[in-house]
Structure 1
């Protein structure tokens, strides 16, 4: 099948494998630009716009052994009493042009008491690398802010989901163009989208936007988030899930479907390389979207 029945998993974002120059002193490698790798599917924690790349969830710290562990965890996160409207765990990116983290932190700190919780990942005694501390914060909040960091995506997105905290995205490439095997196409069911340009320009109050959601609506969105938990976790390697498919199960099933499709094309006497590794125009458009109207149109 010319290598098209092969795939590999990368523990880094896809951009690290698509260096555009031959200068090896620059960041990353040219792996995915090699002709041979045009026939291979890559699974990574963040994909680029190429059609032979697919994003899979970042690993979190929750690796349940049995179905009942997941069921109990879902129940706890669904019924948890939450003290804060929203929260943010992270640090500013003052040297990154266009980063909105500074504005987000400022809005969080200036919000009325008990409205926003900020977990400072640059503070002395940083708690952000301690799983229990991060989950404690997220389980106390209705909404978790997920702005881009060093790249479009964050592991924090999946920490918030397993905590039953509704993710708030500021760029469609942070989730909607990434985890298409895992998240519902209708993003309003499980998340909130606030265009990052509105934050940059000071046109939007995050507190005001999120305060408009009724308790009933928040409850409905949390139910959808809790439904996602089994899909985005990596179960204990010794586990035998009977009721759920975890992130690996879903990825392997989707890769198998992709390989079967190549086989069908070959049987028809057609060239399976057509569109196997090509620029995805839908993703390219989403990469530059900053407004809700265009996002709604594309999604």
Structure 2
């Protein structure tokens, strides 16, 4: 790709975002993910009566002195969160004065950084047609730099059958699945539903991130335009007027409402992002309110 996506401006914004996230965590927002399994981490959870075979080092001797019974301290086990990102690399994502593809890649990059900084595990899956490819990554700063390098090498083009691609991902653990797309495809929402059903079956917290260009949300009035389906190359000539634009906006609103209802049906949520929004606003406000990462 010709343009640098993860440039100095991106890292300046990322540092501000990370600072804000750290401040929110220090003020009591939930950080890390506690499992319901009982383990031996430092966070106390409960007591239970001693049973033969229990570790004597976990006996509460103060309780024994008061009650003349042996009780075991039970702690809450912290487990890493598993984040699966699914990126739609179809040609329709390569659109807009403020490009949808750049905003999509920056969002994934920023969320990956926050997740890795929280000692979580990140997998980035790229959907192309019915295929799914897993980008290389890792942990820590070195892993994050590898993720950025891989993301910047993604080339957008062709079509994507999201559901069929998503079901190619073998998921064995509970986690968060974040699908980044405009969700414009020739198969309709019925096709997308199959992928959501699969993720719900795999016990995933589902987040749909819909990326829309400003030109798509608020088209300008012109005498005549030629609409070209960037994936199928089909062309339609239209004379735009206020009535047609209002009908288009209504159709887009109806589509988004149905997409949101579909997400909720499978226990997920929809976040719609306009590419004119700043990265800070998207991560701290849109994602922060949904408690996706922190």
User: What interval of TM-score do these two structures reach, taking the shorter chain for normalisation?
Assistant: under 0.3
TM-score when scaled to structure 2? 0.24
> Between Structure 1 and Structure 2, whose CA radius of gyration is higher?
2
Structure with the larger RCO, 1 or 2 (CA within 8 Å, 6+ apart): 1
